[in-house]
Amino acid sequence: MPLTRFTPIIDSYCTQPYIAIIANGEVPTSPLILEYLKGATYLICCDGAISYLEQNNITPTCIIGDCDSISSTQLAKFADIIIRRDNQNYNDLTKSIMFCTQEYPQINSILIVGAFGLREDHAIGNFSVITEQSSAVLKLIALSDYGMFISHHSKTSITYPALIGQQISFFANNAVLNCKALKWQLQDYHINNLHQATLNQATNTYISVDSDSPILIYFAFCIK
């Protein structure tokens, strides 16, 4: 299904100003996602992803990481914008998000691309990072060719745009969730395992969500 059908939904989250982070996972093939990277106010590159940006003639605001996934030629070429972070307690995505919150506190929307795909251990680690680093004042959106994650923290009801039949999943470690306009309604639904609220469907052009704890909402670019 053409990704352009979902452009209004993506646009509702990627509103200016926003920061984009490109991680070193599966790179997007959709030209549309590339345009969202180019449209960011600041573009932060986890070091291993610089080859993808080079191939698309994009120079990031800065490159962050321990530089273990970047060539000596690239180290020399981008020396002026490399911010080396050698702390092995954090992966490069965590380092990039922490950098953004410190250097650009006025911008609370961060679009993440390339967080998933390729190595499964990296993908699971990045999923955990997105869950951990999002907060009530920091909106994280993780976008791929297949769908997007949205961080949700409000304990009041928030309405999210959707397409009728769009596949939607909810992830939390421990949360009580209410959500309307779904094929399988969630009323005071207690999630205590990641798989318990997955693979639902929107029955309207919006869903209203409230949760007593932070959750991640996944909107698949797929209609059933």
- Report the alpha-carbon distance of residue 15 to residue 12 in Å, rounded: 6
Check residue 87 and give its pLDDT.
79
Is residue 56 within 8 A of residue 77, CB to CB? The reply is no
Same domain, 175 and 142: no
Look at residues 133, 149, 165 and tell me which one is the last residue of a structural domain: 149
In 3D, which of 112, 193, 99 has the Cα closest to residue 147? 112
Domain count along the chain: 2
What does each of the 224 residues of the chain score in pLDDT, given as a tens digit? 567 788 888 888 888 899 999 998 998 888 989 999 999 999 999 988 999 999 999 999 999 988 888 899 999 999 999 999 887 788 889 999 999 999 999 998 999 999 998 889 889 888 888 888 877 667 899 999 999 999 888 777 888 999 999 999 999 888 999 998 999 999 999 999 888 999 999 999 999 999 988 899 999 998 88
What residue numbers bound the domain in which 97 lies? 1-149
Same domain, 59 and 164: no
Same domain, 135 and 161: no
Check residue 10 and give its pLDDT.
87
Same domain, 69 and 98: yes
Which residue is associated with the tokens 């990031």? 60
Look at residues 129, 149, 169 and tell me which one is the last residue of a structural domain: 149
Pairing of strands 62-65, 42-46: parallel
Same domain, 137 and 178: no
Same domain, 48 and 138: yes
Same domain, 120 and 142: yes
- The answer to whether the pTM exceeds 0.85 is yes
Check residue 119 and give its pLDDT.
87
